[in-house]
Amino acid sequence: MQENRLDKNILQSLDAKRKCLMPYVTAAYPNLDVTAGLLDRFDRIGCPAVEIGFPFSDSIADGPVVQDSFNRALDAGFKIDALFDRIADIRPKLSMALIAMVSMSIVRRLGIDNFMKRASECGFDAVIVPDVPVDESESLSQTSTAHGLRCILMCAPTSSAKRQAEIAKHASGFIYVIAAKGITGERSAVDSQLPTMVGQLREVTKTPLIAGFGIGSADQVRDVCSVTDGAIVGSAIIRRITEAVDGKLSDDKIVQTVGDYVESLYAGTQ
């Protein structure tokens, strides 16, 4: 398997006794300049990776906050070609890994091989396709691997031991451990079963375990990181972007405000 920036960055963080904070942003929300500015700020904070969501009108796993950001980006004319071009432009300036979170409908529309090729060429390091279950992911995984991309699989609290073992068998990069039942969105607490699920996965894999869904404060990041290798924060970041947009803040001020919030979350990784 080819060397990959995501693997290297996760390992470096864990070797430095720091868990991994992975922010999530919606591509081109509110525009590509803000997306690029946020990626630069997250990189300077020290995040080993960032997830970039591709706007899609019919997302199955996302709550109203993320779906609203998708709708706004699409209404503003989001184009995948423009995103790939901007990623190619900023990639040389960034040390963190870039993860494309994208619906299989988008991948199929462009063609699986074509999508993976273009994503890799512009500078992505991994893909997450949340609407493809592990038992249907083999060709996707093979194609992404052929283009040097890690294919991140998700493990839900409801996954059986058999399903966990199957996910562990095919996992690369990290396993996205879903820390709360249901759709994405902030919650007052993560699922009480998270430590049990993580313990079960540790028995069948050495692949890093990064938890997401429902995480929105430094304390929650700290709690999640006490049992996993890192935390993904999405809806809480998108909500702050939306509040800044609705408050008519400038692009630079949006980047500053959201960046300061992510920096506060980063404190929970040690």
Q: Give rounded-to-5 percent helix, strand, coil for the chain.
A: 50, 15, 35
Nearest to 49 by CA among 203, 229, 235: 229
Tokens of 182: 């249901």
Q: Catalytic: which of 7, 62, 191, 229?
A: 62
Q: E strands within 29-96?
A: 49-53
Q: Catalytic: which of 51, 125, 191, 229?
A: 51
Number of neighbouring beta carbons within 10 Å of residue 238: 28
HSE of 86, CA atoms in CB hemisphere, 13 A? 20
Phi, psi of 111 (to 5 degrees): 95, 130
Asked whether 162 and 201 are in contact (CB, 8 A), the reply is no
C-alpha span between 108 and 136 (Å, rounded): 14
* Burial (0-12, 13-18, 19+ Cβ within 10 Å), 222: middle
62 is known as an active-site residue: yes
Q: Distances from the Cα of 1 to the Cαs of 7, 14, 140, 141, 173, in angstroms?
A: 11, 21, 15, 12, 11
Asked whether 172 and 151 are in contact (CB, 8 A), the reply is yes
C-alpha span between 71 and 94 (Å, rounded): 28
At 234 the three-state DSSP class reads coil
51 is known as an active-site residue: yes
State the catalytic residues. 51, 62
